[in-house]
Amino acid sequence: MNAERIIAYIDGYNLYHGICAARLRSSRWLDLRAMCLSLLKPHQRLALIRYFTTMVRNNPAKAKRQSTFIEALRARGGVEIDFGHFLSKTMHCPNCGKEWAKHEEKKTDVNIAVRLLDDAYDDRFDVAMVVSGDSDLVPAIESIRTRFPEKRLIVAFPPKRHSAELRRVANKSFTIGKGKIRSSRFPDPVITPDGIALRAPAGWLPATQ
C-alpha cells in the first residue's frame, strides 16, 4: 500500500496569533516541518508544506524577526512560501476627528484557496491538511470535496483558533495540542546551507534553552 501524500497549507498569521493567545510565545521559533510530521499517521508521507504569510513593512524590529524566521524555514527545506500583502486603510474617529492608518493583511485566504484547488486538479495530494481557523476557506474546501470526493480535507486548528464552519465541511478536524508545538521548536541556532547561523529572536524560545 502506497503512503498517502500529504500537503500542509499553513495560514502563518492565524497560527502565529493562536500560539500567542495560547501563551506559547516561547515556542514561536517553530519548526513547521517537525510540527507537521508530528501530526501524520504512520501510513502518511509529507510531500510539501505551503506557508502563507505577509511581510511586515511598518515595524523594522518585527520585520527583522519575521525575516529571520522565514530564512530558518528555508534552511530547513520542504517549505514553499506564498506572500500576501498589507493594505493600509485610513480610520476616522467620529468623536474626536482623529485619523490613523490601519494595516490589514490581504490575499492570504485567496492564496490558500488557489493553491488548494491547483494542487487538487494537478493530483499533488491525497490529503490536504489546512492549518487555519479562517472560515473564508470554506468555499474552496467545499469545492474540492465536491469535485474530488476521493481526496480528504483535514483542518488542523491552531491553538485558540476554531471555526464551526470549517469543522462542518472538512472530512476531519482537530486542534493542534500545545505539546506538539513545544516539541517542534527549531534548534538555536539554525545553520543555513551557506553556514550562516540564524539565532532565535529574543523571547521566541524558553529562557533556559
Kind and range of the H or E element at 106?
A: strand 99-106
What HEC string does 21-80 produce? Answer: HCCCHHHCCECHHHHHHHCCCCCEEEEEEEEEECCCCCCHHHHHHHHHHHHHHHHHCCEE
At 154-187, the pLDDT tens digits run: 999 999 999 999 999 999 999 999 999 999 999 9
pTM: 0.89
Q: Which domains does the chain have, with CATH numbers?
A: 4-198 (3.40.50.1010)
The residues, any chain, with a CB within 8 Å of residue 85's CB and separated by 6 or more, are 54, 55, 105, 106, 107
- What would the mean pLDDT of 75-84 be, rounded to a whole number? 93
At 83-113, the pLDDT tens digits run: 975 444 455 566 776 764 444 555 789 999 9
pLDDT of residue 69: 98
| Whole-number Å distance between alpha carbons of 91 and 68 | 31
Using the Cα atoms of residue 29, residue 33, residue 34 and residue 39 in order, give the sign of their dihedral: positive
